[in-house]
Amino acid sequence: MASAEKSGRKAYPLRISAAVLDAMQRWSDDELRSLNAQIEYVLRDALRKAGRIKSGPGKQDTPHP
């Protein structure tokens, strides 16, 4: 089993405009994160703010019912 499967992560191809990708890369550089980690962070934060997932210290992000 691949390590991505063990960690519960899935690979997903993403089509994104060059301008958005460049802005995300600059932001990730400023935050000392990889581009992938920054995209996941931004998505998770938006989902949490929209009430789509619950998350807390030591908890997995889970969808709200």
Model confidence pLDDT, tens digit, residues 4-49 = 667 788 999 999 999 999 999 999 999 999 999 999 999 999 999 9
44 closest CA partner among 34, 29, 32, 56? 56
The pLDDT value given to residue 52:
95
The pLDDT value given to residue 56:
62
The pLDDT value given to residue 4:
64
Q: What pTM was estimated for this model as a whole?
A: 0.73
Tokens of 5: 């499967």
- Residue corresponding to tokens 């499967």: 5
Q: Which residue ranges form the domains of the chain, and what is each CATH number?
A: 15-52 (1.10.1220)
Tokens of 35: 């581009």
